[in-house]
Structure formats: C-alpha cells, structure tokens
A and B are shown apart, each in its own frame.
With several copies, the nearest count.
Chain A
Amino acid sequence: MMENTKCIEKVEKKVCDHFSISVPNKPEYVNVVRLTTSAIASRMGFNIEQIEDIKVAIAEACTNAIKHGLCNHNQNFDINFFIDDEKIIIDVIDKGTGFASNEIEKPDLTSPKEGGLGIFIIQSLMDKVEIVSEIGKGTRLQMIKYLGDDI
C-alpha cells in the first residue's frame, strides 16, 4: 500500500500544470502580473522571501518586454508558468525587436549607468535563467526557481 502511494506520487510529479497569460504591452499591467505570480508561488508553498524574489524577477522580465521588446501598442506579450512539485518555470515571451543576448554585460560599478541592471537582477534572484533572442523576431526569457532551500 505504501509502495503504491509512492508510485502514484511519482507519476503525478511528472505531470505539470500549465498556467499562461497574455498581457497588454503597457506598464500598468506589470503589477497585475506580479500579483498573479505571487498567488501562484504562494499556492505552491514558496516562502515569503522566495515569493518576493520571483515577483521582482518577473517584473523585470515584463518591464524589458514592454520597454525594449514591443513597440506596437496593440501587441501583447505572453507568460507561461509550468508548475510542478519541485519548481516553477516561467517563460516571458515577446514577438518584438529582439537583441544580441550573448552580449549582455555585468553592471560595472566603477561607472554606474542608468540601465543594464534588469537581467542581472533576474539572474541573481532565480536559480536558472536562459535567454533566447533573435533580432526582428523577439525574445524568450526563461527562468526557474526551485522549491525547498535556496541554492
């Protein structure tokens, strides 16, 4: 009986929930996304500090999609949440201008600039970050946060 339960748990673990949203390209919706993300993360059992990290990271990703990605005011961008027992995977996808994502620089503190902090913050707060971008096609930023102790 014990064995059996464990087995079912293992099978269920593989199945993940997919929650997705399509967001208007406007600054006032970033906060809506933050609250949605917060609700999902708290439901999953992340602790308060982890939830705060995830909220900051997703807001930075949305801000980039709005500020750099999309020019057309009527275009939306998309967010996919993949949720399972171990982690949350969040994809922020815009079909905007794209950029050379392999040329991202770390912020240089000896000559601080107004910009260039967003992606660095996301990388610091999340466990794994991957950016795929193509000029003229758009950008997908994927970030992962694991439940359990911070790594």
Chain B
Amino acid sequence: MALYINKNYNKEEQLWMINIAGEIDIYTANQLKETLMKMLDEHNENIKINCLELDYIDSTGLGVLIGALKRLKKENKSIIIINPKKNISKLLTITGLNKIFIIEGE
C-alpha cells in the first residue's frame, strides 16, 4: 500500500544504490518515477536496486524501470536488480525483463 525509497550515491564506484520497500503499483509508481528521474538528473550512472523488502511490483512499476533503463542505455549504463523475491523474479522472467536488467541474488 505504501512505497519506501532510500537512495545513496557511491562516488568511488560511480553507482546509485537504492533500497525499495513496500509495493509499486499504479498508486505508488509515480513516486518511484520522480525519484529515479531526479537521481539520473544528478548523476546518469548505474543504478543498483535492492529489492529485498519489495513485496510487489506491477506492470506500471516495471514500465518505470524500463523508462529509466532506456535513459541509462544511451550512455551504456544499466540497472542491476538484487535480491528480488520469488514473485518478482517470476514476473521478470515472464516478461523477459530478466534479459534486459542485470539480476543478482535470486
């Protein structure tokens, strides 16, 4: 029902680290979109998303991630998704997005 985002830029590795907790759906997706866009405005660098506490993501949320990835790809950067729960892994596999994002710690 709610989404919690915690972001941190690692200067040495030139990498965004973010933790996402809760649920990403039509109600909360915009909050994620705004956060990601602001981050990329600051530093257009790789994003590592820790999904350990993410319970749910829907197509709207996946769309937001794809939007961010498209922006990153232009400069050959990427999105790394770590620790997705089983239901989220399943969705990434079904949609084939596991071939577009880098998935770790499944």
Asked if A and B touch directly (CB within 8 angstroms), the answer is yes
A61 to B: closest C-beta gap in Å: 11
Residues of B within 8 A of A (CB): 1, 23, 25-27, 56, 58-60, 62-64, 66-67, 69-70, 87, 91, 94-97, 99-100
- Complexed CA–CA distance, A117 and B95 (Å): 7
**Residues of the A chain whose Cβ atoms lie less than 8 Å from the Cβ of B1:** 31, 42-43
**Residues of the A chain whose Cβ atoms lie less than 8 Å from the Cβ of B63:** 113-115, 117
- Complexed CA–CA distance, A113 and B91 (Å): 16
- Complexed CA–CA distance, A59 and B64 (Å): 17
Partner of B100, one of A30, A31, A112, A114: A112
**Residues of the B chain whose Cβ atoms lie less than 8 Å from the Cβ of A56:** 56, 58, 87, 91
| B100, closest chain A residue (CB) | A112
**Residues of the B chain whose Cβ atoms lie less than 8 Å from the Cβ of A114:** 63-64, 66-67, 70
Interface string of A105-117 (1 = CB under 8 A from B): 0010100111101
**Residues of the B chain whose Cβ atoms lie less than 8 Å from the Cβ of A124:** 94-95
Question: From residue 47 to 66 of chain A, which have CB atoms closer than 8 A to chain B?
Answer: 52, 56, 59-60, 63, 66
Inter-subunit contact B25/A31 (CB<8 Å): yes
**Residues of the B chain whose Cβ atoms lie less than 8 Å from the Cβ of A109:** 96-97, 99-100
**Residues of the B chain whose Cβ atoms lie less than 8 Å from the Cβ of A19:** none
- Complexed CA–CA distance, A120 and B1 (Å): 24
* 7 smallest beta-carbon distances between A and B, as pairs: A117-B59, A114-B63, A27-B27, A118-B59, A27-B26, A124-B94, A63-B26
